[in-house]
Chain A
Amino acid sequence: MNIMVVGVGGQGTLLTSRIIGKTALAGGYDVKLSEVHGMAQRGGSVVTYVRYGDKVFEPTCEEGTVDVLISFERLEALRYAHFLKKDGIMVVNDTRIDPMTVVIGAKEYPQGILEELSQNHRIYTIDGGKIAKELGNSKVLNSVVLGLSAKHIGFTKEEWIKVLQETVPPKTIEINTKAFERGYDA
């Protein structure tokens, strides 16, 4: 299973992929995960990969091999869509964050991204930011997105929640669990 989590530095994509990795490990699989650190994290486009199976070799997913692409932002979904395999699916957090190239007017933010992508791919969308805000902490948007993704990846809801609760900071267990469930039941 090849999963790719993409977004904008600071959105919590890394924690999401770690929870996926731990859940797969608990499920008895060999797991590899690849992360981005350093300068690339500073508000840039960030990518993490999770792969699991009986035996995993390389720690990254390559173009044309991804089963589930989880994107925390629309433009990032567009940027990495070609990593999907033919019947791969996409989970998109329906939000727009302008890159600096757009902010300064050098480029335009593409219109109709989701419509365009849905011509070739099966897409599930959610407004994680809105749900997180309703729950009272905009930071838990990653748990909302994880919840929706989890339903399409596999493992039981209980298995996911167990790992989630072991991984997030103790003070935020309750709100993260709620956020996950909102995504899962969406």
Chain B
Amino acid sequence: MAEKRIMLGNDAIARGAYEAGVKVSSSYPGTPSTEISEFLAKYDEVYTEWAPNEKVALEAAAGASLAGVRSMACMKHVGLNVASDPLYTLAYTGVNGGLVIVVADDPGIASSQNEQDTRMIARSAHLPVVEPSDSNEAKEFFKYAFDLSEKYDTPVIFRTTTKLSHSQSVVELGERVVPEDKAYERQVPKYVMMPASAIGRHKVVEAREDKMTLDAPSFPINKVEYNDKKIGFITSGIPYQYVKEACPQASVLKLGVVNPLPKALIEEFVKEVETVYVFEELEPVIEEQVRAWGLNVKGKELFTKQGEYSANMLKKVIYGIDECQFDKAEAPARPPILCPGCPHRSVFSVLNKLKIHAAGDIGCYTLGAVAPLNVIDTTICMGSSISLLHGMEKAKGKEYIKNWVATIGDSTFLHTGVNSLINMVYNKSTGTVMILDNRTTGMTGHQEHAATGKTLKGEDTYAIDLADLCRSIGVPNVVEINAFDVPGLEKLIKESVSSDTLTVIIAKAPCALLKGQKFPNKCVVDAEKCKKCGMCMKIGCPAMTKTENGTVKIDETMCNGCGLCKNYCKFGAISTVER
């Protein structure tokens, strides 16, 4: 009997890639997709890497496909925006070895900046989309996605969502089967997308989509379960589980391939079943097509376009049942916060003190936007902090940004921030850019990048020196400083924002959660000396609380010993002592 294991959705996708005989995978971390690459890296037979961004990752995977092997790239939904340039044209060229792009959507916005629906992008790029509903399907469908890719000569998007990626269910393991490498053949009309070729390939794309639409009713992962024919659901992915939970007796058309849709199958289902609901999270992608065919279904007039769905929601809408027995209690919110000992807190505490605004970026440091630090003013997308600061200066002049900086992490800087910095140099900006260099990709759970000196496989490699990189593109003033040097930071930031020279400040200190990063000491408060002024509380360290009499107390198990709080006590009441 095959081995059964309980596996995270992302683990199962990696297993599917392994069993499908994938040879090359290139990705950039992004919640909820990150762990796929980390699990895949454990298989020696598969080459896996972190690329600096998703565009590079997809192009690397496309190169491997062209060379004739099965290849893949993984990213979160907004990562697909970065990779959309190659994506739209790869739809034209098609593949040699199978090419699957895993895209993880985040309905409910657990860890993202928006709630976009990848199926919309796939439709506009004319790419097929495969979507599983549990871990075992994730593994099996992933293999099937490669069959589709090779059979129809197209990249395939494999869509997962936060709930699928980060839930575990039982998986039956299989063997790795590696198809023979495809021979490479020079084909200018297929792979060189100059106008004459692209005009021809556009026709191929349309013909392929028509053919897939015709074939879709017979795809084995599109399934009809006829039960009570009074009520039926067209659904896919995790929402299928909610349907089975809430309405176990209903008929279900479960789609494994959500683009293109199996028109004939859907027409038959709608004819057979009295009332049909389209139950899909986010955009009405399926519903709008079904309605456009003149079929009568219910959908977004009953179910929201926002957030995750649930079985309770379905029970409420269909049966008017409320499962909840107790009222929800009033409880103070507990939003995520920067960890004790986080070097970002040190930088933000100085910016807060100097009343400087920061154009922020994507990473843990987004948390600098909230009280009590209140420093970050903008968060849009990867790399945008630097370009936004540049644009503000061009709009209002250099005096206008004397109380502004851009803050960006090391991994995010290498992702797309460096392009924005080139623009500042080229177009003569004078602003201050702070690279918060914590030696890792922090928020997604500590992934290596091009400046850490390690690959995804854990091998040693060249570590790009961020200061040298900035100097080499022409930044006139590049300064490196310890992120916990509060007086030094204060002086440096004051000088650079008031000067008319483009400055990059690299504030360096490893992420507090990296192994071995605990400081040897711990911070303690002398209650006798504490004047209850609350200045130290302004840094927002979770290890610090006020006692009933108003003095400050530091929790010794939570305290990381960074000593930042000491800088903000005028009365010498905080000291560091040995643990």
Contact = CB atoms under 8 A, between A and B. Distances in A.
Interface of A: 8-10, 18, 21-22, 25, 30-45, 56-60, 62-65, 75-76, 78-79, 81-82, 84-86, 98-110, 116, 120, 138
A39 B326 contact: no
B325 to A, nearest CB: 5
Given A62-B311, A84-B326, A103 B169 contact: no
A113 B542 CA distance: 21
B285 to A, nearest CB: 21
Interface string B526-550: 0000000000010010101110000
A8 B327 contact: no
Contacts of B34: 37
Given A22-B6, A42-B339, 18 more contacts: A31-B6, A31-B169, A32-B134, A32-B169, A34-B163, A37-B445, A38-B31, A39-B366, A43-B338, A43-B542, A59-B163, A64-B312, A75-B332, A99-B332, A99-B333, A103-B540, A103-B542, A103-B545
Contact of A101 (B241, B330, B334): B334
Interface residues of B, number: 57
B372 interface: yes
B42 interface: no
A108 B244 CA distance: 41
B231 to A, nearest CB: 17
A75 B331 CA distance: 7
A79 B324 contact: no
B331 A100 contact: no
19 contacts: A21-B6, A34-B167, A37-B445, A40-B336, A43-B336, A45-B333, A56-B169, A58-B244, A59-B169, A59-B241, A63-B312, A64-B323, A64-B324, A79-B331, A81-B329, A82-B327, A99-B332, A100-B371, A108-B332
B203 interface: no
Contacts of A34: 163, 166-168
B170 A106 contact: no
B170 A25 contact: yes
A80 to B, nearest CB: 9
A39 B329 contact: no
Contacts of A105: 546
A91 to B, nearest CB: 17
B110 interface: yes
B158 interface: no
A107 B330 CA distance: 11
B364 interface: yes
Nearest to B544: A103
B251 to A, nearest CB: 16
B371 A104 contact: yes
A115 to B, nearest CB: 13
Interface in B284-335: 310-312, 322-335
B537 A104 contact: yes
B335 A38 contact: no
A100 B372 CA distance: 9
Nearest to A139: B557
Contacts of A38: 31-32, 110-111, 443-445
A42 B170 CA distance: 28
B80 interface: no
Interface in B128-176: 134, 163, 166-170
Given A30-B170, A45-B334, A102-B332, A58 B545 contact: no
A62 B316 CA distance: 13
Pairs of residues from A and B, 3 with the lowest C-beta to C-beta distance, nearest first: A38-B111, A38-B31, A59-B167
B367 interface: yes
- Looking at B170, B324, B334, B338, which has the most chain A CB atoms within 10 Å of its CB? B334
Given A42-B364, A75-B331, A86-B325, A58 B241 contact: yes
B335 A35 contact: no
B413 interface: no
B167 A110 contact: no
A38 B364 CA distance: 9
A45 B542 CA distance: 13
B337 interface: yes
A68 to B, nearest CB: 15
Contacts of B257: none
A109 B545 CA distance: 12
A82 B244 CA distance: 23
Contacts of B334: 8, 43-45, 75-76, 79, 99-101
Contacts of A60: 163, 167, 310
A41 B326 contact: no
Contacts of B335: 44, 99-101
A132 to B, nearest CB: 10
B181 to A, nearest CB: 35
A129 B310 CA distance: 35
B99 interface: no
A40 B371 CA distance: 17
Contact of A42 (B310, B336, B545): B336
Given A59-B167, A63-B323, A104 B35 contact: no
A109 to B, nearest CB: 7
Interface in B405-443: 443
Interface in B29-46: 31-32, 34-35
A32 B331 contact: no
Nearest to A110: B331
Contact of A84 (B134, B167, B325, B333): B325
B372 A104 contact: yes
